[in-house]
Amino acid sequence: MSSDLSRREQHAYDAARFAELVDSAAATDWARPSPVAAWTALDVVSHLVEWSRGFLKGSAGVELAPLDVPADPAAAWKAHTADVQALFDDPAGRMISNPHVGDKPLDVALSEIYTPDIWMHSWDLARTLGQDFDLGAERAAATLAGAAAMEDAMRSSGQFGPRVEVAPDATPQEQLLGFIGRDPYWHS
């Protein structure tokens, strides 16, 4: 999270940046391959919508209306973002209880696992569309430092690919992408 933004502001910022990508993708082929093995542009959007809604239901008892991402990815992302932003805006004392993250306030858990997922998958969607995406050197370096401290748990989760080696003088963004299993030089 950027040090000058609150949890709710960081989510709003990252979700808006992702929305710009989704909107730009609306005129393209949603079946385009992404840097995530076996995923398409549509899969990137579907992942962010579907896993988080399932996580909220299973870990916090928050029921959100189902969304048909394949029918209209841009509309689904807009509705999903509004639903999650409402939870950030008024967490109402809700808690997350999950064996992977423990018991935490809803907004804290979302800001630790969901908002960074939007941020990192923004790079995936941008690259799928043939665009560059700046994750920000400071945020990438901080995320890499935190992730490196729990690498064994991350790798064993199956959520991250094998590390992609990058040059010793790689940027923090390139280092982070390689760490999470992305080829930072991938092109569609």
d(CA 131, CA 172): 19
Separation CA 42–CA 81 (nearest Å): 16
- Regarding pTM above 0.85, the answer is yes
Give, for all 188 residues of the chain, the pLDDT tens digit: 556 899 999 999 999 999 999 999 876 789 999 999 899 999 999 999 999 999 999 999 999 999 999 999 999 999 999 999 999 999 889 999 988 788 999 999 999 999 999 999 999 999 999 999 999 999 999 999 988 877 777 766 667 778 899 999 999 999 999 999 999 999 88
The domain locations on the chain are 7-133, 135-188
- Spelled out in words, what is the top-level CATH class assigned to the domain 7-133? mainly alpha
Q: Give dist(CA 188, CA 185) in Å, integer.
A: 10
